Amino acid sequence: GPSSAPSSLSIAPTLTYEMIRILVKGTPYVVDLTASNPAPGTPIIAYNNNKTSNQFWKATAGRFLMSSPAAAS
């Protein structure tokens, strides 16, 4: 289930190397787009690492902006 406890995060490359997963250190959780909802402003949560598209992220160079492939579907 989701976690709301603050934790340290780390970045892990994926097999495509264009996308990353954001891991919650010391837990089985990753940063997840709530309910796979692609709408702007959807909260992100820490959730079990299911390796679904709403848990993969792409960093945009020069910005603090993350996008999920779930938003493109």
Half-sphere CA count of 51, side-chain side, radius 13 A: 5
Confidence of residue 46 (pLDDT cuts 50, 70, 90): very high
CA separation for the pair 46, 26 (Å, rounded)? 12
pTM of the predicted protein model: 0.66
Between 32 and 15, residue with greater pLDDT: 32
Say how far residue 45 (Cα) sits from the centre of its chain.
Answer: 8
Residue 9: its pLDDT value, please? 74
CA separation for the pair 14, 66 (Å, rounded)? 15
CA separation for the pair 24, 7 (Å, rounded)? 6
